[in-house]
């Protein structure tokens, strides 16, 4: 007798794709030197805001970053840091847009500081 060469079709379902959770985050860490003294100002409601520019040069050319520190962190940075000071900034990226006085649209990306170490 001849053997049957028929193969039964395997009707098993493929396993369900494993759901992976992707968690995004917005975090920045920079180490560099301040290119000017921090500029401490207050909003109309009295909240302190300190703006700084940090230079990093891990490549051939320097990169310049706008840093914003709010409230006590900004006040402390203005008191303790100056032009040329080394600093490690940790925070998040934020992009904001506004209309300039000439009617054109302006845009800036800055780091909102969560911690500053000298």
pLDDT (0 to 100) of residue 97: 94
Domains in the chain, please, with CATH?
Answer: 28-117 (2.40.50.140)
pLDDT digits (tens, 9 = 90+) for 27-74: 999 999 999 999 999 999 999 999 999 999 977 889 999 999 999 999
Give the contacts of 83 (CB within 8 A, at least 6 positions apart).
Answer: 34, 35, 36, 37
Predicted confidence (pLDDT) per residue in 13-29, tens digit: 666 666 778 889 999 99
**Secondary structure element (H or E) that encloses residue 50, with its range:** strand 48-56
Q: Are 55 and 64 in contact (CB under 8 A)?
A: yes
Identify the helix (H) or strand (E) that includes residue 89.
strand 86-99
Q: What is the pTM of this model?
A: 0.75
* CB neighbourhood size of 116 (10 A): 22
Q: So what's the pLDDT on residue 17?
A: 63
């Amino acid at each position: 007798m001849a053997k049957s060469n028929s193969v039964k079709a395997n009707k098993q379902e493929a396993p369900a794709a494993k759901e992976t959770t992707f968690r995004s985050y917005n975090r920045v860490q920079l180490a560099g030197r301040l290119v000017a003294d921090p500029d401490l100002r207050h909003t109309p409601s009295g909240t302190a805001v300190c703006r700084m520019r940090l230079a990093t040069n891990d490549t051939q050319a320097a990169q310049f970053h706008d840093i914003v520190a709010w409230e006590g962190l900004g006040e402390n940075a203005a008191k303790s840091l100056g032009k040329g000071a080394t600093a490690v900034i940790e925070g998040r990226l934020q992009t904001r847009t506004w209309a300039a006085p000439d009617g054109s649209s302006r845009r800036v990306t800055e780091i909102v500081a969560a911690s500053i170490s000298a």
